């Protein structure tokens, strides 16, 4: 389904059975290109740029300034250029680890992508703040594994296309539980009424759930 292109496909978060360890991910990547992984995060310091300019449609990297209108060389659409985050992060769970690049990592760092760009261009040191923030998180994330040809050499890379923090997973779980409990309570209440009243209430419940 090419979820690494359209991350909205990866909604809602995965079920528990779909989330694997970093050790198992390394084995699966020998045959498959994408998995859900649960792990703690830490910042990988270096001299790499933490942002890139991209097509607003397909999010592929382009060599153009922000807000330019271009014909994307990848998707061929006429689109604007946006700035996107590319944060080097180590996923670790005490058994193995994965070097990754997290795209759209703003939820686990204290800066917006424009602030990252400004810090880079002004040579403002922010590595310590990034490391301190990132190491606080445990995430469930969709990792896309692929090989890229660089000067005749195949380099293996892993992009985190979608990430959910612990808080997001917790809130989603209890939202589902709450909806299930509400549905269960409604069914129990309906069973207490006479058939006529029950039919009327079922119609009310049905109409309230009708999007039209």
Average pLDDT of the chain to the nearest whole number: 83
CB contact set of 10 (below 8 Å; sequence gap of 6+):
3, 142, 161, 162
6-21 tens-digit pLDDT: 788 898 889 888 999 9
In the predicted structure, residue 36 carries a pLDDT above the cut 60: yes
Contacts 24+ apart (CB under 8 A), 167-174: 168/13, 169/13, 169/140, 172/12, 172/13
pLDDT of residue 149: 78
pLDDT of residue 84: 93
In the predicted structure, residue 120 carries a pLDDT above the cut 80: yes
In the predicted structure, residue 182 carries a pLDDT above the cut 90: no
How far apart CA 177 and CA 20 sit, in angstroms, is 23
CB atoms < 10 A from the CB of 141, how many? Answer: 25
Q: What's the token pair of residue 40?
A: 């703690």
CB atoms < 10 A from the CB of 154, how many? Answer: 10
pLDDT of residue 4: 72
pLDDT band at 197 (very low <50, low <70, confident <90, very high): very low
pTM of the model: 0.76
Q: Strand 51-55 and strand 69-71: pairing?
A: unpaired
pLDDT of residue 184: 43
pLDDT of residue 191: 45
User: Between 56 and 102, whose confidence is greater?
Assistant: 102
């Amino acid at each position: 389904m090419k979820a690494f292109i359209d991350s909205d496909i990866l909604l809602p978060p995965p079920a528990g059975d779909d989330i694997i360890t970093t050790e198992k991910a390394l084995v699966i990547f020998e045959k498959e290109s994408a998995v859900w992984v649960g792990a703690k995060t830490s910042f990988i310091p270096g001299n790499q740029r933490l942002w890139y300019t991209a097509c607003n449609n397909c999010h592929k990297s382009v060599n153009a300034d922000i807000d330019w209108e271009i014909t994307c060389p990848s998707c061929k659409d006429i689109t604007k250029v946006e700035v996107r985050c590319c944060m080097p992060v180590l996923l670790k769970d005490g058994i193995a680890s994965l070097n990754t690049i997290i795209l759209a990592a703003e939820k686990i760092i204290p800066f917006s992508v424009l602030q990252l760009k400004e810090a880079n261009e002004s040579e403002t040191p922010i590595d310590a703040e990034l490391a301190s923030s990132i190491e606080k998180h445990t995430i469930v994330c969709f990792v896309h594994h692929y090989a890229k040809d660089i000067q005749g050499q195949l380099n293996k890379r892993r992009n985190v296309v979608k990430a959910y923090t612990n808080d997001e997973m917790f809130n989603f779980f209890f939202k589902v539980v709450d909806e299930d409990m509400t549905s269960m309570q409604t069914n129990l209440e309906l069973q207490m009424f006479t058939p006529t009243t029950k039919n009327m209430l079922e119609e009310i419940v049905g109409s309230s759930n009708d999007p039209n």
